[in-house]
Amino acid sequence: MPETRDVSVRARWTSIVLAAVTVASLTACGSDSANTAATGASASPNAVSGPITVFAAASLTGSFTQIGKDFEAANPGTTVTFSFAGSSALATQINQGAPADVFASAAPANMKTVTDAGNADGTPETFVKNQLVIVVPKGNPKNITTLAGLAQPGVKVALCAPQVPCGAAAQKALQAANVTVTPVTQEQDVKAALSKVTLGEVDAALVYRTDAKAAASDVEGVEFPESASAINEYPIVVVKNAPNKAGAQAFVAYVLSEPAKKVLTDAGFQAP
């Protein structure tokens, strides 16, 4: 009988110890879960990382450079590299197989060349709009106040090339005003057209509001009503053969987020 009683006692204590260990383990797991939820930490193996290459319209240079830095800060382990140029040139490069993760165009027409070629992953989404202004040197020495002023004798004007979004928009605005302008130069992106004014090579150029605002220390922007008929929408999309598809999707999502929208509107872009 004593031996049987000892076995029973040992069994009872074993059960108590096992129960205590189980409760402790469950408590520890619960604490870990609570801590993870509180800090926002994640052990997901699908975290965004690696290089992300973004092809973007030249007019996005300032804004996207800042957005890229903000994105990298929010996603440690990522590196965003930009290729800024005219949207038509970027679209051609993508269709020729250039390794890009994201394409942000300054006009739907240039984006359409990419989607028509089957090189977009998903449907492009418009994230901002932009509008033209006449940009002139400080003091407006030629006293240009309307589009008609660009057609005055002796006024040298720079425009973007017709296939570039800012060039196509300029043609629409000039047609709406029934004004014919013969530019002394046609540039491949809006930054190049703006530089002709800042360098003193021309008397005026048609550029976006955002570019005039960014160069406000060197130039003045002259608003004109016909610009309302030539507002450009900016679409963005993940490229079909993106080397970093997860990174591309995350970057596009960030561009559409409130922090990025603030950067863009502060630069003078309009909400879509």
* pLDDT tens digits, 195-209: 999 999 999 999 999
- According to DSSP H, which parts of the chain are helical? 2-39, 61-74, 87-95, 108-116, 165-177, 190-198, 209-214, 245-255, 258-266
* Average pLDDT of span 94-122: 98
Structure confidence at residue 226 (pLDDT): 96
Whole-angstrom Cα distance, residue 142 to residue 247?
A: 48
Estimate to the nearest angstrom the gap between the alpha carbon of 130 and the chain centroid.
13
- Predicted model pTM: 0.81
Whole-angstrom Cα distance, residue 131 to residue 268?
A: 9
- C-alpha dist (Å) from residue 37 to 32, 42, 93, 258, 272: 9, 9, 44, 23, 35
Cβ contact 214:267 at 8 Å = yes
For domain 132-229, give the CATH number.
Answer: 3.40.190.10
Q: Do 50-128+234-266 and 132-229 fold alike per CATH?
A: yes
Tell me the per-residue pLDDT of 215-231, one tens digit each, with 9 for 90 and over: 999 999 999 999 999 99
pLDDT at 4 over 50: no
Superfamily, domain 50-128+234-266: Periplasmic binding protein-like II (3.40.190.10)
Tell me the per-residue pLDDT of 69-88, one tens digit each, with 9 for 90 and over: 999 999 999 999 999 999 99
Whole-angstrom Cα distance, residue 176 to residue 173?
A: 5
Whole-angstrom Cα distance, residue 78 to residue 222?
A: 40
Residue whose structure tokens are 């106040």: 145
Order across the sheet with 120-130: list the strands.
Answer: 78-85, 50-57, 102-104, 232-239, 120-130
* Average pLDDT of span 233-256: 98
87 is in an annotated binding site: yes
Instruction: Locate 19 and state its tokens.
Output: 């129960």
190 is in an annotated binding site: yes
Structure confidence at residue 195 (pLDDT): 97
Residue whose structure tokens are 């008929």: 229
59 is in an annotated binding site: yes
* Average pLDDT of span 84-98: 97
Domain definitions of the chain by residue range: 50-128+234-266, 132-229
pLDDT bucket at 47, cuts 50 / 70 / 90:
confident
